[in-house]
């Protein structure tokens, strides 16, 4: 049934023979396509990085955890840029798996981040507010964007949009985590909701040090297929036209508005670029805009890449589209769907942590 649905949508795939011949090279080629025509190419790494502890609370969450606030200061070609990260970890753990949460706010805890419960499950969580990197607006003269683009003007049609800049910052957080001995470096996930779920997927596609990527309700240009979108599902016109969120992406993407079938890829390429590592897609029944069916089928389509590598992709025991309360955690691509609306809920975190524990790298 799923194969027929994908066939009807005319979904493109990364050729299996190229995957088998040289996956590293093929993955880079697929990622290049995604950057050239959708997200833009990320800026180069900084020339230098410095990390300064600003605050520490040894009694956080009833004394079970340690809270730390850091400043990350980066030297780039055109000047320096800094932003704040918040790191909370279980106090008595020698080394904890960590989740990098690209968040909408800088609150710890936050309505999208139950910090105490995350640490109770044995995870450290490091978060930052995406607007501390650059504004969620067409203004390319502020924050990181202001250092990269002269006079706030993007230099080429494949120059990075805001999602690529936020992903670049998440990669800098990974650089920071590499300096911490109390983090299990084999088990670091990146997570985000909505536009930041798109960001999390791009982050992990670009940086293989992330063992897991978690996308919560990211939908169009994230974890949902473009082709064959269900009625009510967000399209490229919805997301890019009428001065909405066009600035999230590179300018090359605009030519495909109302012509998504001409794209040289679909979003299964983005999930595929995370292989052989783990990717996780999360849906909500009433989040029609994200199009749960297209999210699920994106995972099924990306499974072809994992299968070509001899791995299990999204393992679904039935031939029916999933219903709320169902979760599939057996493969390298995880999936769940819950009741409710567009939101990063406690239930989503519990599903995610269960999956991370099941697939922990030893």
Tens of pLDDT, residues 163-173: 999 999 999 99
Cis geometry, peptide bond prior to residue 38 (ω within 30 degrees of 0)? no
Task: Tell me the Cα Rg of the chain.
Answer: 19
Residues 6+ apart with CB under 8 A from 32: none
pLDDT at residue 282 greater than cutoff 80: yes
**Using CA atoms, how far apart are residues 179 and 202, in angstroms rounded to an integer?**
23
Q: What single-letter DSSP state applies at residue 110?
A: B
Phi first, then psi: give them for residue 193, nearest 5 degrees: -115, 140
Cβ atoms of residues 326 and 341 within 8 Å: no
Q: State how far the alpha carbon of 308 is from the alpha carbons of 11, 32, 94, 211, in Å.
A: 17, 20, 37, 19
How far is it, in rounded angstroms, from Cα 74 to Cα 172? 9
- Confidence at residue 241, expressed as pLDDT on a 0 to 100 scale: 84
State the Cα–Cα distance between residues 16 and 250, nearest whole angstrom.
28
Overall average pLDDT of the 203-226 stretch: 98
- What confidence score (pLDDT) does residue 127 get? 99
Q: What is the mean pLDDT of residues 232-252?
A: 94
Distance CA 41, CA 159 (A): 6
Annotated catalytic residues are 194, 342
135's CB contacts (< 8 A; 6+ apart) are 142, 143, 145, 162
Residue 242 has pLDDT above 80, yes or no: no
pLDDT at 243: 78
Mean pLDDT (whole number) for 9-33: 98
The encoded tokens of residue 178 equal 């590499």
Which pTM was predicted?
0.98
Q: Over the stretch 141-150, which tens digit does the pLDDT of each residue have?
A: 999 999 999 9
Residue 230 — very low, low, confident or very high, per pLDDT cuts 50/70/90? confident
List domains and CATH numbers for the chain: 2-42+98-104+158-358 (3.40.50.1820)
Contact 164, 158 (CB under 8 A): no
**CA 296/CA 81 separation, integer angstroms:** 38
Mean pLDDT, rounded, of the chain: 97
- Residues 300 and 92: their CA atoms lie apart, in Å, by 40
């Amino acid at each position: 049934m799923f194969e027929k649905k994908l066939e009807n949508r005319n979904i493109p795939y990364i050729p299996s023979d190229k995957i088998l011949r040289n996956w590293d090279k093929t993955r880079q080629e697929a990622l290049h396509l995604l950057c050239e025509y959708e997200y833009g190419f990320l800026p180069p790494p900084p020339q230098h990085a410095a990390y300064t502890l600003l605050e520490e609370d040894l009694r956080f969450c009833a004394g079970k955890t340690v809270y730390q606030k850091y400043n990350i200061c980066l030297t780039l070609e055109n000047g320096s840029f800094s932003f704040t990260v918040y790191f909370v970890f279980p106090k008595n753990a020698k080394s904890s798996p960590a989740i990098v949460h690209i968040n909408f706010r800088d609150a710890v805890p936050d309505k999208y981040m139950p910090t105490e419960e995350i640490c109770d499950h044995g995870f450290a969580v490091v978060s930052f507010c995406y607007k501390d990197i650059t504004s969620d607006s067409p203004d390319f003269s502020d924050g990181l964007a202001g250092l990269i683009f002269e006079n706030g003007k993007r230099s080429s049609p494949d120059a990075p949009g805001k999602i690529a800049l936020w992903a670049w910052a998440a990669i800098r957080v990974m650089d920071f985590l590499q300096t911490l001995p109390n983090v299990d470096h084999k088990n670091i996930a990146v997570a985000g909701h909505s536009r930041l779920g798109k960001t999390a997927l791009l982050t992990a596609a670009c940086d293989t040090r992330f063992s897991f990527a978690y996308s919560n309700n990211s939908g169009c240009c994230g974890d949902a297929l473009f082709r064959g979108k269900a009625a009510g599902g967000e399209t490229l016109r919805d997301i890019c036209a009428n001065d909405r969120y066009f600035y999230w992406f590179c300018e090359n993407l605009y030519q495909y508005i109302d012509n998504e079938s001409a794209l040289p890829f679909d979003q299964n390429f983005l999930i595929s670029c995370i292989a052989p590592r783990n990717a996780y897609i999360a849906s909500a029944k009433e989040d029609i805009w994200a199009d749960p069916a297209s999210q699920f089928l994106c995972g099924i389509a990306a499974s072809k890449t994992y299968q070509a590598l001899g791995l299990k992709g999204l393992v679904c025991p039935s031939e029916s589209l999933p219903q709320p309360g169902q979760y599939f955690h057996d493969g390298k691509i995880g999936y769940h769907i819950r009741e409710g609306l567009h939101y990063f809920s406690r239930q989503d975190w519990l599903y995610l942590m269960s999956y991370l524990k099941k697939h922990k790298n030893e």
